[in-house]
Structure formats: C-alpha cells, structure tokens
Chains A and B, each alone.
Chain A
Amino acid sequence: MTNRVVVLGGGTGGTLVANRLRRRLRREDAEIVVVDADDRHLYQPGLLFVPFGLARTEDLVRSRRAQLHAGVDFVEGAIESVDLGEREVRIARSEPIRYDVLVVASGAVLQPEETDGLTGPGWGEHVLTFYEPRGAAALAAALDRFAGGRVVVDVVDMPIKCPVAPLEFAFLADWYFRRRAMRDAVELVLVTPLDGAFTKPVCDRELSGLLRAKGVEVVSEFSTGAVDGRGRRIVSYDGREVPFDLAVVVPLHGGAPYVARSPGLGDELGFVDVDEHTLQSPRYPEVFAIGDAAGIPTSKAGSVAHFAGEVLVENVLAVLRGNAPIARFDGHTNCFIESGFKKALLIDFNYETEPLPGHFPGPVGLPLLHESRLNHLGKRAFEWVYWNALLPGRDLPGVGSRMPVRGKARVPAGSRVGV
C-alpha cells in the first residue's frame, strides 16, 4: 500500500523537506502532499531591508507550488485541525486528508493583538512592525517622512523569529539616518526582555560593543506590558516607561492557530512538542515538526529549518520503514547579522557551543563574529541560494547539517573576544 506523507506548511522547512523526501522515496511507495492556506511563499529575511528602501515586498514573494518538486502534490486550503487519533488533517471546504506521517512546518504567527494597546491608536502609522510585508512597507513610508526624534525598537517577548533582526534593524537605522545626514536628530533605542543584546555571552559582548559604537541605547530586562500609541510610550509590567516618536515593535509570536485547535499537538504557545534531537513527537511517533513551528530550544531561523531538514528526512524514512529514528539534530544555527555600511557579521552555533570567533565553514572562510564586507555580500547572495539551492533541498557545498568545529577559536567564557 502507498504511504502518504502530509506536510503542513509550504514555507522554508516544509518545502525543503517535501523536495528532499520526494527524491528519496519512489512514487509507488509514498505520496507527498503539502498543504498551505495560500500560494505565496515569502522570503522572510528580505523584510528587514524593506523599511530602508533596499528591497520591495513584491519582489520577496513567489509561488509556493513552483518551489515544489513536480512529484509533490500541493493543496491550497486553510487547515482547520489535526485529528491525531484518526491521523487526519481537516481542511476548510475540502475533503480531510489521511496521513501515515505528518510533518508540521507551519511556522510562527504574529500576535500583536495580545499586547495591550499595540493595535490601538497609531498602529500602522507611528507604531509599526517590519515582521510582515504590509508593516514593512508602511515602515518604509514612516521612515521616509520621519523628521527626527526617538526611534524605539521594542521586542515584546521571546520567542521571536530571527532574534538578531531587531539588532540589525537598529544597525541599519543608524546607517540610514547617517546617509540622510540627520543622525544627530535621531535617538535610537533597543528595548528587550533579555538581560543583554543577545543571550549567549561571547556574542552578547561583540554585539553590545557594536550597538554602543553606533550610539544605540539598550534598555534590557524590559517586559512590555502595553504600548500607548496616543501617549507615545511603551510601558513595562513593572511600571517603567520608554517614550517614543516612532515605535518599531516585534509582536508576540505563537504557533499556527490550527495547532491550538488540535488537542495533543501543541504546547501553551501553539508550538509543537518534539524531541530536540530527533524532531519526533514523544507521544505520536508518526508526527514530526520542523522550523519555527517546532517547540525546540533553538532560534526561530531559516538556517535551523535548513540544517534540521536533513535529519528530519532521515527520521521520516526510518519511521516509514518501521524503524526507530536515529538521526540527531545538533541545534546548528547560522546567521548573518547585517550591521550597516555594507558590512555584516556571521554567527554559527548549536545546542552545546555558543557563537565563537574564527572562520566558517573552516579555517579559510567567512569571518565569524566580526564585521566584514564579505559577510554582507554573503547575506545578499543568500537570497539566490535560498530559492535555487536551499528550497529545492540541494546540499550546499561545504555547509552540512552538523555545526563545523574546524575554524572556530575556543574562547573561555568571560574573556575578551579577539578578532
């Protein structure tokens, strides 16, 4: 009998997994079906550049279906729920789809309405987010007409997609206002619930130094309780206030709404509870999750979905053959951090190893944790790699699932980063 693998979500993780699985499974052995509510695949890393006029939202979107192997079926429809007992996905205005293996890859959604006042007066005008296309475009217009004052970048709470993006926004804003010869008229402030710019010590020191050098004030351990658009201030749960003229807010994130409507599938925030190494559900061995949808202790970043993809494919194949999953994901994450003036940093880390200086992927390669033009070119070239190699599920030369150790300098915690 033919098996059916159903992948929920045609974004980064879902697309590359479906394409990789198709190449490993004969058609007579398994059908592969991808379900998504629309046919618009957004290149999310591009959103950062939209507010500064460096990218246009319409150029960041392509057909989801067109990114899938010809042997993968694409069903366009809103997912209502998953019945884990019946092994069935219920879809609006469509027949339910039975599965033998389910891969949840539906990412994270923004929940601005969960923060008091955020979607009230000023939302879309002087309270904006660049985490979705409309907001990013509106922010471009708001920056364009900005005449000076306080720009506050506020992260409401973790987890968020791409935890370095708010820092990158601050770096690029510094560059943008300098280019417009009005930097002296602008105060830049980064407000974060974390106790520093980043959670990992060596990286935090490097990024904090860069924020200082660019004149970005950091307000840390600030838990946003409300955004008052009329009074132009952000208020924390412990009563502190940060005034703003323009607020760039990263709203709360949660899992796709159908996860919460599917008993047993998700945690309190709607992310899917899977083993951090095998990516398999502890209760339902035929259920896996990948990317931002997975409730694992990684950053929510495309690189994680990419590196986890190889592991997930091996483990799905094992389950289809009646075996236990043995491939293990090491938490490998790799992020370019755009720092303005055509420079960027690169960080590479996993569950065990924090971002360290050195070079990637080996001793001769891109500089790690250090600003360089090469990394900026790498970040901009990545868009091509994304559509042409990563989504089709091709192996990138020299860049494997496991984090490379070669090329990294060992820095004892607490010591200064040498570059």
Chain B
Amino acid sequence: MPVATYAGREVDVDVEGFFTDPGQWTRDMAPEIARDAGVGDLGPGHWKVVDFMRAQYSEKGTGPTVRVLGKTSGVSVKELYELFPTGPAKTAARIAGIPKPRGCI
C-alpha cells in the first residue's frame, strides 16, 4: 500500500492519494495535502468544506458528491468549483483525509 508523508508523519493512502484510514489525519496535514493537490493556501472557505466533508464521513461512512455538497454545505456548487477547480468533492475529500467519495453508478 502506498505511503505519503504529511506534517512529518507517514500515512496510508491509495494510488490516487486518498487516505485509507481517516484516523491518521490531523488538521496540520491539510495545507500540505492541499499543495500536493494543486489547491494552494487554504482559506476559511476551504476549511468550511473540509470540516463538512469530515463530519459527513463520520456520520455516513462516505463523503458527499459535489451535488450533495452544493445542497447541504452552505457553499454553492459554483463557489465549490472556485475553491477546488479540479473537482470539489474529490479534492476536498483528499484534503480532508477521507476515502474517495463513492458516487453513484
């Protein structure tokens, strides 16, 4: 299993860089993951989404899709794409240290 190092600690990730054990994540890792994911510096808007992703994951066992994020996080889909241009649900999940959202088939 691939390993990444954030905030000086080794964590387990999958081939796309998503945490496989959200328990290994700490808040001080988020800025480094964000740089890896091409997001740049994390502002309050980013944190609002990241915190929401973690809360949803602990409640439901999977991160929300971008459509559900737009309906429930208080941040519109348009704003979500401004914060995380390459795919809000996936990028925010990665920064939040949770597995890739399952989505629907």
Contacts and interface: CB of A to CB of B under 8 A. Distances in A.
A268 B77 contact: no
Interface string A263-287: 0000111000000000000000000
A200 B65 CA distance: 18
Interface in B67-105: 67-68, 71-72, 77-78, 80-81, 85-87, 102-105
Contact of A238 (B65, B67, B81, B102): B81
A332 to B, nearest CB: 14
A157 B85 contact: no
A15 interface: no
Interface residues of A, number: 19
A298 interface: yes
A256 B87 CA distance: 28
Given A225-B77, A237-B77, A268 B103 contact: no
A238 B86 contact: yes
A199 B105 contact: yes
A157 B67 contact: yes
B75 to A, nearest CB: 13
The DSSP consensus for interface residues of chain A is: loop
Contacts of A199: 103, 105
Contact of A159 (B64, B78, B104): B104
Given A200-B105, A225-B77, A158 B65 contact: yes
A85 interface: no
B86 to A, nearest CB: 7
Contact of B72 (A223, A238, A268, A298): A268
Interface in B3-28: none
Given A268-B72, A269-B67, A297 B102 contact: yes
B37 to A, nearest CB: 15
A163 B67 contact: no
Contacts of B102: 297
24 contacts: A157-B65, A157-B67, A158-B65, A158-B103, A158-B104, A159-B105, A198-B105, A199-B105, A221-B87, A223-B66, A223-B81, A225-B77, A237-B77, A237-B81, A238-B85, A252-B67, A268-B64, A268-B68, A268-B72, A269-B67, A269-B68, A297-B104, A297-B105, A298-B105
